[in-house]
Chain A
Amino acid sequence: MSTVTHQTAAREESHTPVRGLGWYGMVFFIASEAVFFANLIAAYLYLHVHAGPHWPTLDLDKVLAAVNTVILVSSSFVLTFAARALNRGNRRAFSGLLLLTILMGATFISIQLYEYVNNGFGPDKNIFASSFYTLTGFHGAHVTVGILFLTVCWFRSLRGDFSKDNHFALTAAEMYWHFVDVVWIFLVLLLYFVVR
């Protein structure tokens, strides 16, 4: 294992903006995740087309969804600011902004759960309800994993684990968080606004 690290280290010495092995691993992992959501969305659209005029719709709280979207998308920006703070060497701002991201994510999940409890139908209601809970549920699970990931980073930031040159875990968490955000934009458009 150590030899591998040496190798990478050697590569990094030679030219500056080289990316670690982990970065590549993360890219392909996220690619696979993207295909996962693409399959879910394709399945949703397939069922929609298959049902034709019989496709059922249910009342959803669009305002709440819009608010939630704003929260999640902003959290991505906050996280970017956090990473920039770290690059500037401002560790306090970094930890604070990271915590803010986590809280925003938690708010998103809470609002989502609130919606689950109060929208008055379960996954067995009809095929739209099944799709709604499955798509948002999978997304919510990913957000939750993202929150855990960021929380670990936050604790590590308190311990001073990260520096300008050494923060791969944070980079990975950041990549994941942005990905989860982008997925949400697709889902919210599909389920709440455009293709209902």
Chain B
Amino acid sequence: MDLSIGPAAERLRDEFRTFFARKLPAGLAAKVRNGEPVAKEEHQHWHRILNEQGWLGTSWRKEWGGTGWGPLERFIYDEEYSAAWAPRANVPSIDLLGPVLIEFGTEAQKKTHLPRILNSDDWWCQGFSEPQAGSDLANLQMRAVRDGDVYVVNGTKLWTSWAHTANKIFCLVRTSVGGPKQAGISFLLIDMEQPGVTVSPILTLGGMHAVNEVRIEDVRVPVENLVGNEGDAWTISKFLLGHERLVGAWIGPSLALMGLLRERLLRPGYDGRPIGADPALRLKAAEVESDLMTLRYTAYRVLADELSGREPGPVVSVLKVRGSEIQQALTDLLMQTGGAEAMAHPFTLPDGRPVLASEEAHLAQQFFDKRKLTIYGGSAEIQRNIIARQIVGV
């Protein structure tokens, strides 16, 4: 057993740290740290800086403009990225669609779409969930019917993250009915800037606008926008899940939140003593930090398996379950370190400006926003089913 990541990876970690310290705009980092909304233009500006450095396509092969990194480099990058409070956006394009196209796309699809993603011209969103297909994705109903050179697409996607800032959407669509449910699903690229595509906001707890309903009515999609063959979508989705198993542990973002919590515990509370002088709060913080360090080590075990080509097994679901719970616990404690200002609703002035220019203004909102983490991307219950299936064999 050995915990070291080797001198090359250590050097890379330093390089990341230096780069973020020099190149990440301070105002942007402060917004992310405080949980304030970040405009699309600010994201694009930051992504162009990353792309200049060659560090945007972190899970892409070099020949397509990516970094060519393995899981270790990506993991370290993610930790440092979060520690610097760099904003995350356009994740479906960079971390999901990019790797899918590189693995399953045609040459034409790669040449058309990959450069536009790196250049931040295209922002893709992920159209998976539907009104009748949440965790049970195989039940999805969006239809794509072949008509000559096009598919005619009809249906509704729900909970689509950042559809309102995206110009394109990749959808799971049903191309055949009858037969096994999974076999009739295909992976289709759809331009959102055309008649028949309607995006409506869904506000989530705390007034966050992150998710949407996307209605698609009689939209004609060229057949060359099919990724892989008809019926391949299930295989592609599995590939995607394998790709993001370490990301679902939220190690980097949680380490950053823990740092913030430690700092806030030192600030004077209502009685002039440090907030962390409250023994109960202090022990809760110690527990969540211990949980986080332990999950980080569990992620290392999965990482070590990946590096040596072993299948990690059900421990991957442990990352997802605990990672989400730890994010919820951290934002809960952060909210508890805030005074009355933490509990204001941040966007309720008539002109839409923030209610309070305070570092605490978004603490409650952040807490409620994290509630979704044990629900989406395979709920905590689904993860427990997966674990049980593997260890009990039912």
Is chain B a partner of chain A in the same complex?
no
> Which residues of A does B touch, CB under 8 Å?
none
